[in-house]
Every structure is written in structure tokens, then in C-alpha cells.
Chains A and B, each alone.
Chain A
């Protein structure tokens, strides 16, 4: 009898332990899955919030503006650029967590179709967003998003002073401007600048940006930051998108000239000159490595014509 009871007890214990282990395993697995799903959802929300947060930077009355955001935890994001037509940028994010794997895969990408964001694969806790306007001749705002530390290596000049002054004014502490490469911090991204400017640095600044062993010719501070903060591929992708947008804007303004002409305004040759600008811009949008500098003579022609019109087109 006693033996029988003992056997029964052992069976009960074994059975209870097995069922308990299964329940605990299911519960732990459920919690693990729940945390992963929540993190994925949180990362998507964060990416979307970042897109909304950048909206005021897209169209501002100011020449430049900046914002500092302290992320709730260490964050990593990357941007993929597509240059077809107006083009799109896909932003995907992931955040560091103290529970489970510290880093999991990127969230579902958020599509951004009307911003020009210059950034690379960034990782950090303090996000700096700033924008600068680009006039070609229609005003577009370029956005820069930084999480990494950057180190600009440049020789002392009027241009480097201008860059330093501007970064200080915008309170961008993520960028360190030094003379020698060895002065850069170990974890920072090194960007070599070979730039110069004349009387008005904001407009006349030009030169080369060397990053990832590739030298990019730039003109204007807005494009200089663009080349410095993004990969060469993303930089050229965004310039193609900008060229296309300029082309479309030139077409739109040519149609506006029609509307003004119908109201009795003399429009001169502005329409033809806008079409020339549009054609050149569309050609650049098709090139692999376009230089927006090539638009300058066309822009000058359009601006000169516009200045003498009784009804200005832009």
C-alpha cells in the first residue's frame, strides 16, 4: 500500500513539475514575444514622430534653425534614398532595450516623400536636427539629422571660421572642427573639408568634402553640410531629387506666368527661360552624380528676367 502511494506521489510530482515547466516556458515565451512586439511598435511610432518633428524644418521663413532632442534610450536609425521622380526616403529605427536582446532588427520603414534629409547610419542618445535653406532660385530647406559625433578636419580660413561660427550659433555640439586628423575623437566620423569663400561666405562658400574616400564638389553651406553628414550615395540621391523638384517648380512657375499673362501682365521671355531651367534640372536628375552648380547660369537668367517684370513670377 505504502509503495503504491509513493509511486502515485512521484507520478503526481513529476506531472505537476512537467506541467509547471510548460506553463512557465509558455509564460516566459509570451512575455519575450510581447516585449519584442512592443519594441517594434515603439520604434515605428518613434520613426513616424521623427518625420512629424521634422515638418517645421521643411518649410521655414528662417535661413537656418536647429533642435536638440534627447531620445528616451540609445537610438539607431538609417535612411534609404530612392531618386525616382520626386523620390522618397525610407527611415527605419531601432532602440536599445535593457530587456532581452539589447538591439533588435529595424522597425518597418516610414516613407518620407517631400523632405531632403541628409544623414547616415546614426547611433546615439542626443539627436540634433537642423536645417538650412537652398535657393535655386526657389527656396527648399535641407534637413540634417545627427546622432553620431562628427569631426571636420579643415585648415584655418575664412570658410572654416564661418562654419565654426554657424555651428556654434545653431548650438550643434556634435561637430568638432579641428586642424589635424589626429585631434579627432576615436568614435567620431571624420570629414575632411577643403573649402574657401570670399566676401559673403554663406553664398560663395565652395570646395570639396572628402568622406568615405570619396571627394565631392560642393557650393554653398547647405550642400556642404549635406555632403558631410550623409554617405556619397545618399548625397547624390538627394541632389537628384532636388534637381527634379527644381524642374517641377520651374514648370509650375511657367504655368503661373500664363495665369499672370491672362490677367494682363507682360511676361517677356520668362516662360522660355523657366522651361530652359526645367529642362536642365530634369537632365541633372537623370545623372548619377549631378552637380547643382550647373543650374547657376539658368537660374541667373530666370532671376534677371523676373526682376524686370511688372508682375514677379517668384
Chain B
């Protein structure tokens, strides 16, 4: 196994030159990751340009010690930093170079300290650090490196390796921390960029620089599912973003903290980094004049850039349109309960119309949903006997192509949605879905609204009743008994999967108890418990 105990400044420069080349290959993919409402649609490019500036400066280092090259590297980053992510990146290099002062060689333990300082510096540059961004990624990477070192490892390769792996996981996890990423179903662009740089550095150390030219960095997939975006998110472009204002300030006696405090209220995404003679400022402001005026009173301004972010945003939306996956066929489902809504959304439903038993949605409600989806071909899943008719009216009210799959229960709706064939057209899909309706048995457990006698069953008001495919088959005082008895009407020996959706008035513990009883009786069954949070029905169970 290859081991590297220390590297020179020359290696340091080559390592990051290699990382920069690696980043270049995915810069445009990273650009495409940017999410509304931060309209900097160029994170990848910005990080790349920042890195290039670092490398250029690194060649001007006075000698080849690790310390000199790292200082030059950090200086280059500060001078050439572009955009939000570029400025944060420059802060990371600054932290890195700070720990390396006076060091001829960079060792494993040095790197661990340097990563820690880099993470610390990155947080310090911002007045309002946000988790789920490049900040979290450098922090997680440095923590992992520290843990590796605590275990006595001093090999540079294995330290960077754990840092890269941690960065990978951290990037995948960014949508869990930042809702705007979750909504867009992407990971943080800056985090992805940093991961790519670290990965490039690792490959250099492993001696794989040659092979890299034939490969491309991997884009990390979000670890959490893409949730359907509510349609109202789209209409927000009237809000002005103002101007992305960036410049470098030169002079003497600067106090970056003081400048940061002073500019804090003047806009968003403020970053102020640097030292007493050079400070880089990045801010999104509605009034750049005000910021410039203040800055001019402190020193001389360089590399001033003021860009209209509304324009950037328009370009960005255009780019997204090209990148967005074309939804050929959209599915609209009528569902009650946030748990069940999530189930449908996670299986690819494009829109949910809230409703079901005792709260049937109107034709207008369904029509609105149909019009809101980004496809001209729409399948409607009514999931209730009493909604089918309202759904059928839609055909005459819209110019879109509509197919109604007459699902009468939630389990039927889920089965239909699951069977969606990505290769088939609208009509064939509707046919496939309709065919699956009969392959699933639906059980619903609810309460009788009045006393009655039906099919030889005496039912008291508020008693638990069990319906099998819509037919009342069992009544009783105990909900779980009624459920088990209803289940016993089915030939469970020849079934494979039981899915239990428990309602708003049912506890997870009770549902788990039901599930383990079924498992004991029928060990061959695969039983799944899902929070449906539906009203009125204590349980909805699908058996297939």
C-alpha cells in the first residue's frame, strides 16, 4: 500500500493543480446545481477561477517550502476569489496556510490541523453561517481527518481519504440541512466543488494523475428524496434580488470584523475576508452605491464587479429548463393525510389534491392540480368511489390529455402508481394501471357513524368496522381485533406483502404490534408499517 508521510511545497502546488484540472471537468455540472432563490448560477466556474488564481500565484512563491507555497496559494485565492463560494474557498486556503507557517514540509498531522483551521476560518468569514453548505462539508471533512489522526494514523493519503469520504457523505446530506436544496432535489454546489477538489488532491497523492485525464468526477446524489415542489414556489420571480457586489479593498489597518459588522444590514450573503492590508467583500444588496461609498472611504478598490442578479436569475431559469427532466406523463392523486401524501409523492405523483372520504374534492380542485403540472398528459387517481365522477368531468374542462384510472381505495392508488411504466405512453400506462387494481386487496378500518344492521351484522354507533374492498365484513369493539378478523377473510398463505398505513388517531406502537402479530401467524409475509396520518380510518391495509 502506498504511503506518503510528507510533501514539499512543490508537491502541494502540483496536488492542487491536479485538483483544479479535476474540478474543471465538472465545473459546468456544478453550475447547474445552483438553486433558487440564490441566483448565482455559476458556483463551479467561480470555484474554478478562484483555484486558478491560487495556482498562478503559487508559482510565484519565493521558495519551495510548504509554507511559502501555501501562503502564495492563499494570497492567490484572496486576489482572485469570485462569487460566494470562491470567497469562502479563499478563506479555507487562508486557514490552511495559517497552520503551515514556517513549515518546510506538510505532514499528515499538519494537514489535520490545517483542515481544522480552514473550517474555523470559513465559518468566521460569514456573519451568518448556514449549515448544509460548503461550510458543513469542510467541517465534516476536518472532523473525520482529526478522528483518523487520533487513531494514530500519520499517512497523508489515508487522512485525505477519510476526509474525502466524509466530504462525500456530507455533500449527500446537505439537502437534509437546507430546505431549499431538498425542494430542488440537489446537493449543495459549493460542497460538491470542495469535495471534487479534495478528491482530485487524493488522486494526485495516490499517483493516479495519469488516469484522471480519462475520467470525470462523480456528482453526488442527494441522500434524501426529491419532494414534489408546490406550484406556488414557481411564481416568486417578482421579488428583486438586487446586485451581486464584489470587490477587493487594499490599504492598511483594516479590521475585517468591523467591516463585516458595518455591512451586515446592507444586504444578504455577506462575506468579508482578508487581513489588515487586503480585504475581499461579497454582498447581495439592493443598493450597491451605498456599499461602494463606504468601502471607498477605507482604501482603494480593485476588481470591482456589480452584476444584476435578476438577469442572472433569468439566465439560470433558462439553463434549468434545459436541464430539467421532461415529465412526459404526470400523475395527479386525491389523497388525505400528510403521511399518505408523502407516500404518493415519493412514488412520483406530480400533484396531490387533498381529499377522500367525507371530504370529496370538487372538480375545480382537481382541475387546478391538473393545470398546475408540467405535462400535457395527465393520469388522475381518484382513490375513492365518490371522487371518480368529479374526476371524469375534467376531460371536458381542459385541453390536456386526461386518463382516469378508477382507483377506489388508497392501496389501489398506490399499486397503480407503482406500476407506472416509464417507457409506455399515456394510454398504455392507464391500461397497465387499471389492470393492477385487481391485484391488490384493500382493507379499511373505520368507525360506524350510526347503528344499523347490514348483511347480517349488527353494528352499533362508533363501533369499529372492517371493510374489504369497500364491503363491510366485520364489526366489533376492538379495532385491532376487527383488523385481524378482516385480514382472516383473505387467503394470506398465497399473499406476499402487507402494507399497513396507520391513521391520525392510531399510535405507531399499536400498528407495530399488529404487524408483529401478522408476522408470527404468517412468517412468509413481508409486512411494512407506514405512517399514513389519514383522518377517519384507523388503518388502511393493502394486501398483495
A, B assembled together: no
